[in-house]
Structure 1
Amino acid sequence: MSQAREERITTNKEAIIPDTILDVQETSCCIVGGGPTGIVLALILARQGIQVTLLEAHKTFERDFRGDLIQAGAMEIMDELGLTEQLLAQVPHSKTSQMEFSLCGQTVSFANFSKLKTRHPYITIIPQVKLIEFLTESAKRYPNFQLIAGANVQQLIEKNGIITGVRYRRSGGWHEVRSQLTVAADGRFSPVRKLAGMELIETAAPMDLLWFRLPRHSNEPEGLRVRYGSKRVLVTYNTSDGNWQIAAVIPKGNYRQMQTEGIEALQQSIVEVVPEFGDRVHHLKDWKQTSLLSVQMGRLSQWYRPGLLLLGDAAHVMSPLGGVGITYAIQDAVTAANVLSEPLKRGEVELNHLAAVQRQREFAIKVIQGFQSFTQKRITAKAMQADNSLKLPIYLRLPLLSDLRARLFAFGAFPPHIKVKFSL
């Protein structure tokens, strides 16, 4: 049978069918998506001499990521990579050891990280874009690592039922990457997931988040705090550049209505929850200074097809609650590297290897998503409906549960560690 008949190209309906492929590259592992999952997996594989190509849709990493929180579990992986000291020395950051809930003048510790048995008993607050740039520069030290920026993946190549590569558009032309394994780490709206015909089992989330920043006074206490008011919830944490990063929790689909009410109404709602912000809300002048995150939760029933593995948000969309997204994504990458490194070296990646990655990570994902869903429904959703009548449940005030929640956020269930060997 000819190759033309063996192969099938899966494409978006909107995509143009290429007349000419400008070049065809071959690699052991093609990773689509240059977020935390993709770059950590690429770095570990490259350190072992595995040929890896990382395709990133954007031309640069200079865009506004919202996730800045790195839990202790991810910092321990940075230790294992031998990168922690260099990372913290080169990239501005801040730290907090508490995640607090504030309501009606009462503040309780929702998660106390200071008692964790780790070198990093805190949350590291670091701009995600800077983290990715740092890790990318580390990966570039290895000649078998290649980053292709501005690569918009629009087609999957399938041969005899196995995904054997991708086609992407860049600078107006079509290019092709052939690989033993394609890894989709391209986020919650994963184009590769759509091309592969894989659908998330979604769990309804009762809220969206509106992100923005306000100046922070130097004498204000640091930390991460969830602040409850009358039908209002604000999440605040200090950044290394002297600002408060703020997420206003809003009812699902309510953003358009907020815009019609005007920016002044948003300013007023902020002051109602945090009166001390009254002296600076005027800095929030335009909706362009805000960024809407539509909160989703869900996961795939199966994270893989022959020749294709989905990781991170592409496989399981997380809620922002607990600030665990980056950490759990990096843990996905470590598990994948542990399982797949030797098969990739041998050129023998089988379906059971891909299934093993999902099997080792799925329980931890189910646990954290279950906890996020419970908290959103039992606390956050009720707070958005209550007129100063909400009382924090007693179980939120128990120190033992605060410590347990911190461990869940920091490490998750059965946290992975790098098992493969490589030279620093």
Structure 2
Amino acid sequence: MGCVIAGGGPAGAVLALILARSGVEVTLLEKHADFLRDFRGDTIHPSTLQVLDELGLGEEFHKLPHHKTHQFDVLTDRGFGRVANLRGLPGRYDYIAFVPQWDFLNLVTSRAATYPNFRMLMRAEAHGLIVEDGVVRGLRYRDPSGEHELRADLTVAADGRGSALRRAAGLVPEELGAPMDVVWFRLPRVPGDPADTFLRVAAGNLMVSINRGDYWQLAYVIPKGGFERLHDRGIGELRERIGELLPYLAGRTGLLRGFDDVSVLTVVLNRLRRWHRPGLLCIGDAAHAMSPVFGVGINLAVQDAVAAGNILAGSLRSGAPIPDSALRLVQRRRMWPTRATQFAQRVAQNQLIRPALAGSPKVTQVPDLSRIPVLNRLIRRFIGLGIRPEHVQVGENRG
């Protein structure tokens, strides 16, 4: 068969759809029974909205419950500062849409399922590779019925930052470091609350506040490895910090009954030096784990998928062997955007997050960068479209 993809996240799902609609036989494996996991990335940037349009999904996407934001604001002890305003961004979309990731994945995989050459296996966890004469010929997976093998011309590891297939191939990422972890939770949103998503910064504390309509999705940033200390101090410590940073939430913090009501994200920033082996390609978090800074993880993953689909669909459809040069081309095309984005994330980590967590008072002063025209154009393009946005070049083939 043509292609087997391990991992039903944004990278795997979008690549599966692109290949299926182009006429490639494709199987997508997802280790869970559904996509319903809370506190996953859910920021859909203009570059991804453009891809959805190109796949014929733009109208359906905008029917999903979502919230739009046109700017990036930072709230300090001295008031609001604006990092960027996306209005005026080239193209149809000048906003970021916040939508639960499970809705996004259901939308993409449901469309893929309309093609007879697409198959999706749920509760199917890929854990090993079939290697013959130095070439990956497929993968091994387990599901409730036992162990199985699935052969393919191309195997794609899109199974996340802890990728089992990457490990099986002997590919080890270069760790770039992150000074923080994130504690995620939600609290109700009521009339009179702020309307927009923003970052709250104070000496020693940071919190991201995302408007999800009837509730706030909140991310309390803590020093790397600091959750155990926070847990030892008790849930009252977290409630107190929330009330200090966002006083309008102080009366609602009691709804956090304990640490069972929060989820902890261990932040990782890394990338592979080499994304492929003969017959195998890594994309998305399996190739490069992104920091949550700028919320671009989904969008980098989708761009990887589009580039891979554009480059590989023709060979896969024809049944021709996948040359190493094609896999190298995917990496070459996507490595520069990955490096540039991770560089910007490291700058933000070192210049804002690390000093804030250390208690520096300098971070309580954030200017309105959107008032500087040239700088605002650069920042809004970087955040909204990213480095080298990809466009779907593979047509639909239902034959």
TM category (shorter chain) comes to over 0.9
Paired letter, 1:288: D
| Residue aligning to 2:136 | 163
1:239 to 2:209 alignment: no
Moved more, 110-119 or 306-315: 110-119
Deviation at 1:340, TM superposition (A): 0.2
Answer yes or no: is the 8 Å Cα contact 2:78–2:364 preserved in 1.
no
Gaps of 5+ in 1: 1-26
> Are the equivalent residues in 1 in contact too, given 2:82–2:368 (CA < 8 A)?
no
CA distance, structure 2, for counterparts of residue 387 and residue 45 of structure 1: 49
Q: Please report how far the alpha carbon of residue 313 of structure 1 lies from its aligned counterpart in structure 2 after TM superposition.
A: 0.4
Matches within 5 A, 1:186-201: 186-201=159-174
| 1:276–1:393 CA distance, 2 compared to 1 (3 A) | closer
Instruction: Give % identity.
Output: 40
Rounded Cα–Cα distance in structure 2 between residues aligned with 1:138 and 1:379: 41
Deviations 1:255-288 (CA, angstroms, capped at 9, x unpaired): 0111110001100011111111112111111211
Quote how far apart the aligned CAs of 1:39 are: 0.7
What one-letter code is carried by the residue in structure 2 that aligns with 1:187?
G
Pairing partner for 2:4 from 15, 25, 30? 30
Q: TM-score, normalised by structure 1?
A: 0.91
Between 1:56-65 and 1:328-337, the stretch displaced more is 56-65
What amino acid is the match of 1:39? A
Per-residue deviation, 1:219: 2.9
Q: Secondary structure of the residue that 2:182 maps to in structure 1? A: strand
Counterpart in the other structure of 1:176: 149
Which stretch shows the higher mean deviation, 405-414 or 180-189?
405-414
Q: Deviations over 1:6-41 (max 9, x none)?
A: xxxxxxxxxxxxxxxxxxxxx210000000110110
How far residue 111 of structure 1 moved from its aligned partner, in angstroms, is: 2.0
Equivalent residue number for residue 69 of structure 1: 43
1:128 to 101, 104, 111: 101
Match of 1:278 among 220, 245, 250: 250
> The residue matched to 1:197 in structure 2 has which SS?
coil
What's 2:52 paired with?
A: 78
Q: Distance in 2 between matches of 1:387 and 1:304?
A: 42
- 1:199-250 deviations in whole A, cap 9, x for unaligned? 110111000011000111133232221101230100011014x111110010
Which residue in the other structure is 1:60 paired with? 34
Question: Counterpart of 2:154 in 1: which secondary structure?
Answer: strand
Deviations for 1:33-78, whole angstroms, at most 9, x for unmatched residues? 0001101100011011110000111121122242111000000000
Q: Which residue of 1 aligns with 2:385?
A: 411
- CA drift at 1:105: 2.7
1:140 aligns with 2:136: no
How big is each residue's C-alpha offset from its partner over 1:56-115, in whole Å with a ceiling of 9 and x where there is no partner?
1112112224211100000000010111111211x2111110111111132111121112
Cα shift at 1:358:
0.6
User: Is 1:330 matched up with 2:331?
Assistant: no
Q: Is the 8 A contact 2:239 2:253 kept in 1?
A: yes
The secondary structure found in structure 2 opposite 1:220 is coil
Deviation at 1:137, TM superposition (A): 0.8
**Residue 372 of structure 1: which of 336, 345, 352 is its match?**
345
Q: Deviations over 1:140-184 (max 9, x none)?
A: 100100000111112211011000011111114111110000000
| 1:6-405 equivalence runs, <5 A | 27-89=1-63, 91-240=64-213, 242-346=214-318, 347-386=320-359, 388-392=361-365, 396=369, 399-400=372-373, 401-405=375-379
Cα pair 2:127 2:140 within 8 Å, conserved: yes
Distance 2:247 2:372 in 1: 28
Query: Against the structure 1 CA distance between its residues 395 and 86, is the aligned structure 2 distance closer, same or farther, given a 3 Å change threshold?
Result: closer
Aligned 8 A contact 2:202 2:364 in 1 = no
CA RMSD in angstroms, aligned pairs only: 1.5
Letter in 1 for 2:395: K
Contact 1:65–1:129 (CA<8 Å) still a contact in 2? no
How far apart, CA to CA, are the structure 2 residues paired with 1:127 and 1:394?
A: 31
After TM superposition, where is structure 1 displaced by more than 4 Å over at least 4 residues in a row? Answer: 393-398
Give me the whole-angstrom Cα distance separating, in 2, the residues matched to 1:344 and 1:413.
27
Give the Cα separation in 2 of the matches to 1:55 and 1:41: 12
What runs of 5+ residues in structure 2 fail to find an aligned partner? Answer: none
Amino acid of the residue matched to residue 290 of structure 1? V
Amino acid at match of 1:192: L
Q: Distance in 2 between matches of 1:351 and 1:74?
A: 28
Give distance in 2, aligned partners of 1:141 and 1:313. Answer: 27
Q: How many residues align?
A: 396
